[in-house]
A = this chain, B = another copy of it.
Amino acid sequence: MGVTKTDLFTPTQNELSAIAKALAHPARIAILEYLLECQSCITGSIVDKVGLAQPTISQHLRELKAVGLVQGTVEGTAVCYCINPEKWRAIQALWNGFFDHYQAPDTTACC
């Protein structure tokens, strides 16, 4: 059906997966890495850097904005994008919390 049954899951589970979904495309990773490197730049630079068509980049930027990882401000005809520091750290902490829950089993597990 292609439709996720979000009502079966906790808010945290839905939030974690929503963030993961925003990161689940190499173009969006590439955009974030570029923003990490240049700190802030306009859409056109990202289009040149990543190598996808401008509408496609615009779409990926919208997804990154939707989860708050990225923010953009209008600068004349251009739009300047950068990483949202608070959200960035919050998401890092959220994932670390998830991964840190792992404890090596005291006895050897079945597999």
Chain A residues with a Cβ under 8 A of chain B: 4-6, 8-10, 13-14, 16-17, 20-21, 23-30, 33, 36, 39-40, 50-52, 71-73, 75, 80-83, 85, 88-89, 91-92, 95-96, 98-105, 109-111
Q: Which residues of B contact A103 (CB under 8 A)?
A: 36
Contact A105 B25 (CB under 8 A): no
Contact B52 A5 (CB under 8 A): yes
Q: Which residues of B contact A109 (CB under 8 A)?
A: 39-40, 80, 82
Q: Which residues of B contact A81 (CB under 8 A)?
A: 111
Supply 16 further A-B pairs (C-beta < 8 A) apart from A13-B29, A39-B105.
A4-B25, A8-B26, A8-B30, A14-B26, A17-B25, A17-B28, A20-B20, A20-B24, A21-B21, A40-B110, A82-B110, A85-B102, A88-B99, A92-B99, A92-B100, A92-B102
